[in-house]
């Protein structure tokens, strides 16, 4: 009694239940294992000069090479150029569409809104391959007429080609972020400028632009980091074109003979460092954005610019964007999936349409296995991520357990780890420690869970934060214990959030390539890796068929989600 | 009977511990309406949450009838306490209908009543608050006032021994708030349910309560019947919080206090002896402004600074010897700004209390008092 009184006076608060401490401790250990151990192993690996992972010899040779030799500097320049180019392109497209939809009176806004979002569903690897079909120098749809007229084709196998494909693919992401920024802006700020007799141009220059600047910076930075982290375009376009960036260099230094583990780890560390710096800057810019905009947190009725005659030009431009981003890629994939050998369409090719490619997919053992593996992994990863992050979110928001902030932080760390960097880190971990899961789907499960923890924690924290704490307290004062409160109040209210997070993680797991490419082999092959391998063996028409099926599946899934999610939201 | 003894609660923050509740003791007789009144951050809500078991006090005891709810070695969790609570946000569960919301406390109880019995009890509770016939309505489709009634029905359906109300009226608009105030008072008087009410609105507290405790910095600084608190505040803080007042510091002399360039005859509180420092408390509605000398005792000459028409009276600010007094004049009085006026301070309504150094936050006080 006496000692507890002393402790209370000193302001120490002992957790009420031991169970809490156990739960938080277990979560902290699990999260550290998932996020910190791979990073530690990666750094250790990057200073090892041994021929294999187990043969550790301390050396700085890898870093010396990565930071000083000519090829490495070219690699750095290429990577930065590629990231900056793709980010800028995505930003320009996304912002233009966002501005048209949010701030002008262009006709058919909801249609354009949908068109701007749909490409998000298309997996990067599928998008990239569709553009191979469109812009390949020999057989690309777009290049055939160009060659006929100008004599020279556009080559996709170039840095501008890579920037084009990646930029086009991330434009919807830029659209989402910029339209949110535009929507969060209080129009009365601009109206006050107008009332102070500023003309539209100086209103834009002196009010709108400075207010949007932090948002613009934060969006550009996140686009840059995402472009650098991506593996699809650098691998599928960059490797044949012999244009290397960090992600593809990490891959080749592992895939050469003998594989250079230390060097790839050093490249991965550099990429990780760039990514961390980019995201730290992004966070700063975002915090500034929030300071500017979330004064009330309400959505404003925006001021719309009357386009007048220009609205037809705007509609034409948006239509062209829809054609380029959705219609053309999808058409070319359907066409390619129905022919024996891919070529520029002609009367001959249309007379020989076949379902052979689809038949192959359903009979090919490896493809079938990759499909099963991906679905199983998607279900497992989504379930684990949602379960784990909802516990963490609850602990962070609803308890005062010491160390809860650390849990939140640990769950967020993987946002900085590019997929391929995680892949190589996990190689190091599971070659070193005696847990034999390399070559099974379990190592992929570890990778996916780690990669998508940040998405899960973001979604569940946001969802739970929206639920007033008093809703749970009211259940307690009504006589409900913990479990009935959880089951009958918290869970039903949180269901839309949890379903949304689950489906999101399921979808991104289904198409994950960056870490899978290093961790998957024949037994634990997954869809994206299977597509990658089929391309290596030149089976483009089969890939097209597989892509079409994948897209249809994902679109169906999202449609179902919107039905289900929409209903749950209406119910609430 | 609810008995609270020596309650203490500290919150850990980034800047160290904050003492939210500091040695709070009070008791509420059965069937009584008891209000904790105070500005934001005074510890009233924390005290209420300790009663509900939503916070665990470090020290002190809470006893409801013969049952110990909380003492340093033992703590009855919220769900095991025989209470009903209405939250400031109402905390209506949006995924349930009106019926399901009210039935919830019955359904989760260990001796859940039969379906028919549940239906009957829910209907009874809804009838109490005037929501009959809305059983099937989804809860989010109710208006703010209806949600408030629903929250009350949900708190009452189990017929708890203790009803806890956390600023339940603060989210309603002014008209509705007045009506709900009356209904709440009538309901409590009729059901005779022991009630603890938390508010920062002194008018609510005076209107509703049998007894009021004024809290400041985690402590109860004065407790009593509403009329006693109003007539005999123990400190400037209480006088200021319970009703409007003008405060004048001055030295106690025989028969009054030296202030306003003369001697103000007044009622002295017991602790005051000549020579002591005192604070004069004067309610504006008792101070009368005249356009000409009336020859009353305690009359002072001043300059009229503000005279605003408020329907049943003129709200005045009068400058007497450099001190601004709030006062009232008859609504038909013809007064001009900056004219000479005579202010009458009836000695029986001028109260001198010991000066503890507290000063009011000027006349703009009401702007800062919006409770978060």
- What tens digit of pLDDT does each residue of B35-62 get? 999 998 899 999 999 999 988 999 999 9
Query: What is the C-alpha to C-alpha distance for residues B7 and B48, in angstroms, rounded to an integer?
Result: 11
User: Would the CB atoms of A477 and B155 count as touching at under 8 Å?
Assistant: yes
B26 Cβ neighbours under 8 A, 6+ residues apart: B4, B34, B213, B220, B223
Query: What is the C-alpha to C-alpha distance for residues A506 and A511, in angstroms, rounded to an integer?
Result: 9
Q: How much is the pLDDT for A516?
A: 93
Interface of B with A in 8-47 (CB under 8 A): 10, 12, 16-17
User: Would the CB atoms of A468 and B109 count as touching at under 8 Å?
Assistant: no
Q: How much is the pLDDT for A536?
A: 82
User: Would the CB atoms of A477 and B12 count as touching at under 8 Å?
Assistant: no
Q: How much is the pLDDT for A308?
A: 81
Q: How far is B190 from chain A (nearest CA, A)?
A: 22
| Averaged pLDDT, A57-78 | 85
Query: What is the C-alpha to C-alpha distance for residues A92 and A353, in angstroms, rounded to an integer?
Result: 39
User: Would the CB atoms of B12 and A571 count as touching at under 8 Å?
Assistant: no
Across the interface, of A8, A473, A571, the residue whose CB is closest to B91 is: A473
| pLDDT bucket at A234, cuts 50 / 70 / 90 | very high
Which carries the bigger pLDDT value, residue A21 or residue B300? B300
pLDDT of A57 above 90: no
Output DSSP code: residue A382: H
Q: How much is the pLDDT for A562?
A: 72
Q: Residue B31: which region, alpha, beta or left (left: phi > 0; alpha: psi -120 to 50)?
A: left
What's the pLDDT tens digit per position in A153-203? 788 889 999 999 999 999 999 999 998 888 877 777 777 777 777 887 888
Query: What is the C-alpha to C-alpha distance for residues A254 and B272, in angstroms, rounded to an integer?
Result: 91
Q: How much is the pLDDT for A54?
A: 67
Percent of chain A with pLDDT over 70: 91
B72 vs A contacts (CB less than 8 Å): 1, 4-5
Percent of chain A with pLDDT over 90: 36
| pLDDT bucket at A52, cuts 50 / 70 / 90 | low
| pLDDT bucket at A11, cuts 50 / 70 / 90 | very low
| pLDDT bucket at A143, cuts 50 / 70 / 90 | confident
Q: How much is the pLDDT for B217?
A: 92
The per-residue pLDDT of chain A, averaged, comes to 85
Q: How much is the pLDDT for A301?
A: 64
| Averaged pLDDT, A295-309 | 64
Phi, psi of B220 (to 5 degrees): -85, 120
Closest chain B CA to residue A398 = B54
Output DSSP code: residue B97: B
Which carries the bigger pLDDT value, residue A281 or residue A1? A281
Q: How far is B220 from chain A (nearest CA, A)?
A: 21
Query: What is the C-alpha to C-alpha distance for residues B154 and A474, in angstroms, rounded to an integer?
Result: 9
B9 vs A contacts (CB less than 8 Å): none
What's the pLDDT tens digit per position in A455-511? 999 899 988 888 888 999 999 999 988 888 888 998 899 988 898 889 889 989 998
Note the pTM of the prediction, 2 decimals: 0.80
Q: Tokens 């349910």 correspond to what residue?
A: B193
| pLDDT bucket at A290, cuts 50 / 70 / 90 | low
Q: How much is the pLDDT for A51?
A: 64
User: Would the CB atoms of B78 and A473 count as touching at under 8 Å?
Assistant: yes
Query: What is the C-alpha to C-alpha distance for residues B212 and B224, in angstroms, rounded to an integer?
Result: 6
pLDDT of A537 above 90: no
A280 Cβ neighbours under 8 A, 6+ residues apart: none
B88 vs A contacts (CB less than 8 Å): 470
Q: Tell me the angle at which helices A261-293 and A246-255 cross, rounded to the nearest 10 degrees.
A: 160
B contact test, residue of A12, A470, A479 with most B CBs within 10 A: A479
Across the interface, of B16, B54, B154, the residue whose CB is closest to A476 is: B54
Q: Write down the H helix ranges in A69-158.
A: 70-103, 109-117, 124-135, 143-150
Query: What is the C-alpha to C-alpha distance for residues A254 and A533, in angstroms, rounded to an integer?
Result: 16
Q: How much is the pLDDT for B64?
A: 95
A410: which 2 tokens?
Answer: 């640990």
Query: What is the C-alpha to C-alpha distance for residues B335 and B290, in angstroms, rounded to an integer?
Result: 9
Which carries the bigger pLDDT value, residue A24 or residue A447? A447
Task: Compute the CA torsion angle B297, B301, B303, B307 (nearest 10 deg).
Answer: 20
Q: How much is the pLDDT for A187?
A: 73
A280: which 2 tokens?
Answer: 């730290």
B150 vs A contacts (CB less than 8 Å): none
Tell me the β-bridge partners of B306. Answer: B317
β-pairing verdict for B33-37 and B194-199:
parallel
Q: How far is B86 from chain A (nearest CA, A)?
A: 8
Across A15-29, A82-96, B61-75, least confident range: A15-29
pLDDT of A17 above 80: no
User: Would the CB atoms of B88 and A471 count as touching at under 8 Å?
Assistant: no
pLDDT of A293 above 70: no
Q: How much is the pLDDT for A377?
A: 96
Give CA B15 to chain center in angstroms: 30
Is B170 an interface residue toward A (CB < 8 Å)?
Answer: no
Interface of B with A in 116-145 (CB under 8 A): 140
Which of B346, B354, B351 lies closest to B328, judged by CA? B346
| Averaged pLDDT, A70-93 | 94
| SS3 readout for A138-205 | CCCCCHHHHHHHHCCCCCCCCHHHHHHHHHHHHHHHHHHHHHHHHHCCCHHHHHHHHHCCCCHHHHHH
What's the pLDDT tens digit per position in B132-174? 999 999 988 899 889 999 999 999 999 999 999 999 998 888 8
pLDDT of B260 above 80: yes
Across the interface, of A16, A476, A478, the residue whose CB is closest to B56 is: A16
Which carries the bigger pLDDT value, residue B121 or residue B364? B121
A198: which 2 tokens?
Answer: 């500023």
Is A405 an interface residue toward B (CB < 8 Å)?
Answer: no
| Averaged pLDDT, B291-318 | 89
Percent of chain B with pLDDT over 90: 58
Q: How much is the pLDDT for A2?
A: 37
Across the interface, of B10, B87, B108, the residue whose CB is closest to A470 is: B87
Is A54 an interface residue toward B (CB < 8 Å)?
Answer: no
Phi, psi of B119 (to 5 degrees): -60, -40
Which of A526, A219, A498 lies closest to A385, judged by CA? A498
* Strand order through the sheet with B262-265: B262-265, B256-259, B246-253, B277-282, B350-354, B267-268
Residues in chain A: 572
Q: How much is the pLDDT for A139?
A: 77
């Amino acid at each position: 009694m006496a000692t507890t009184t002393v402790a209370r006076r000193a302001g120490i608060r002992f957790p009420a239940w031991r169970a809490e401490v156990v739960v938080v401790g277990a979560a902290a250990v699990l999260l550290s294992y998932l996020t910190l151990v791979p990073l530690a192993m990666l750094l250790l690996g990057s200073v090892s000069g041994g021929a294999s992972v187990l043969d550790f010899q301390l050396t700085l040779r890898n870093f010396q090479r990565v930071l000083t030799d000519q090829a490495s500097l070219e690699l750095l320049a290429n990577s930065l150029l590629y990231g900056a180019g793709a980010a800028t392109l995505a930003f320009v497209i996304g912002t233009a569409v966002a501005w048209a939809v949010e701030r002008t009176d262009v006709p058919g806004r909801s249609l354009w809104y949908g068109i701007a979002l749909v490409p998000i569903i298309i997996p990067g690897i599928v998008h990239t391959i569709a553009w191979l079909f469109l812009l390949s120098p020999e057989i690309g749809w777009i290049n055939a007429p160009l060659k006929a007229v100008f004599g020279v084709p556009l080559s996709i196998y170039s840095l501008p080609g890579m920037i084009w494909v990646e930029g086009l693919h991330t434009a919807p992401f830029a659209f989402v972020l910029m339209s949110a920024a535009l929507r969060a802006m209080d129009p009365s700020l601009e109206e006050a400028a107008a009332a102070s007799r500023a003309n539209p141009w100086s209103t834009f220059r002196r009010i709108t632009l400075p207010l949007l600047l932090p948002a613009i910076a934060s969006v550009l930075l996140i686009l840059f980091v995402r472009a650098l982290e991506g593996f699809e375009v650098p691998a599928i376009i960059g490797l044949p074109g012999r244009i290397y960036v960090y992600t593809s260099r990490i891959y080749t230094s592992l895939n050469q003979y003998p594989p250079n583990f230390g060097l790839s780890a050093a490249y991965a560390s550099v990429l990780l460092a760039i990514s961390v710096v980019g995201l730290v800057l992004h966070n700063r810019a975002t915090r500034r954005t929030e300071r500017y905009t979330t004064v009330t947190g309400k959505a404003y009725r925006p001021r719309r610019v009357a386009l007048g005659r220009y609205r037809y030009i705007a509609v034409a431009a948006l239509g062209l964007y829809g054609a380029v981003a959705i219609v053309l890629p999808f058409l070319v994939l359907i066409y390619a999936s129905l022919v024996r050998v891919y070529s520029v369409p002609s009367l001959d090719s249309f007379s020989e349409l076949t379902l052979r490619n689809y038949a192959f997919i359903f009979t090919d053992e490896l493809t079938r296995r990759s499909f099963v593996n991906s679905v199983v992994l998607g279900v497992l990863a989504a379930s684990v991520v949602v379960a784990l992050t909802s516990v963490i979110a609850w602990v962070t928001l609803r308890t005062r357990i010491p160390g809860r902030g650390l849990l939140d932080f640990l769950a967020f760390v993987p946002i900085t780890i590019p997929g391929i960097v995680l892949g190589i880190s996990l190689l190091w971990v599971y070659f070193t420690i005696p847990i034999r899961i390399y070559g099974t789907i379990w190592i992929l499960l570890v990778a996916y869970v780690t990669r998508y923890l940040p998405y899960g924690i973001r979604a569940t924290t946001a969802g739970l934060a929206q639920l007033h704490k008093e809703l749970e307290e009211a259940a307690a004062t009504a006589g409900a214990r913990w479990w009935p409160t959880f089951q009958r109040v918290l869970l039903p209210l949180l269901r839309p959030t949890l379903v949304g997070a689950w489906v999101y993680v399921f979808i991104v797991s289904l198409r994950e390539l960056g870490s899978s490419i290093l961790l998957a082999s024949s037994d634990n092959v997954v869809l994206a890796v299977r597509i990658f391998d089929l391309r290596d063996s030149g089976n483009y028409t089969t890939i097209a068929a597989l892509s079409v099926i994948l897209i249809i599946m994902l679109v169906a899934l999202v449609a179902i989600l919107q039905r289900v999610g929409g209903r749950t939201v209406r119910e609430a | 009977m609810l008995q609270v003894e020596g309650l203490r609660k500290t919150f850990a923050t980034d800047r160290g511990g904050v003492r939210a509740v500091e040695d709070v003791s009070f008791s509420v007789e059965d069937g009584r309406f008891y209000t904790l009144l105070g500005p934001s951050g005074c510890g009233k809500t924390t005290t209420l949450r300790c009663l509900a078991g939503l916070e665990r006090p470090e020290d002190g005891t809470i006893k409801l009838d013969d049952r110990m709810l909380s003492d340093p070695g033992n703590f009855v969790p919220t769900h095991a306490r025989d209470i009903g609570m209405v939250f400031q946000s109402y905390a209506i569960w949006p995924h349930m209908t009106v019926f399901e919301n009210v039935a919830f406390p019955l359904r989760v109880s260990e001796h859940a009543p039969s379906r028919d019995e549940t239906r009957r009890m829910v209907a009874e509770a809804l009838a109490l608050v005037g929501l009959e016939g809305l059983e099937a309505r989804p809860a989010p489709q109710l208006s703010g006032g209806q949600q408030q009634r629903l929250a009350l029905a949900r708190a009452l359906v189990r017929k708890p021994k203790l009803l806890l109300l956390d600023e339940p009226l603060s989210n309603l608009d002014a008209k509705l708030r007045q009506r709900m105030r009356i209904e709440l008072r009538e309901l409590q008087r009729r059901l005779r349910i022991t009630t603890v009410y938390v508010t920062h609105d002194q008018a609510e507290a005076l209107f509703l309560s049998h007894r009021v405790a004024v809290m400041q910095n985690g402590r109860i600084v004065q407790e009593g019947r509403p009329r006693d608190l109003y007539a005999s505040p123990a400190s400037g803080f209480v006088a200021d919080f319970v009703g409007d007042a003008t405060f004048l510091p001055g030295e106690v002399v025989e028969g009054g206090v030296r202030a306003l360039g003369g001697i103000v005859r007044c009622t002295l509180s017991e602790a005051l002896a000549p020579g002591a420092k005192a604070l004069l408390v004067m309610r504006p509605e008792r101070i009368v402004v005249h356009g000409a000398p009336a020859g009353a005792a305690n009359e002072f000459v001043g300059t009229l600074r503000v005279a605003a028409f408020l329907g049943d009276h003129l709200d005045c600010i009068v400058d007497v010897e450099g001190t601004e007094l709030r006062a009232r004049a008859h609504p038909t009085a013809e007064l001009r700004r900056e004219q000479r006026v005579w202010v009458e301070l009836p000695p029986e309504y001028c109260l001198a209390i010991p000066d503890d150094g507290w000063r009011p936050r000027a006349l703009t006080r009401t702007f800062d008092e919006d409770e978060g």
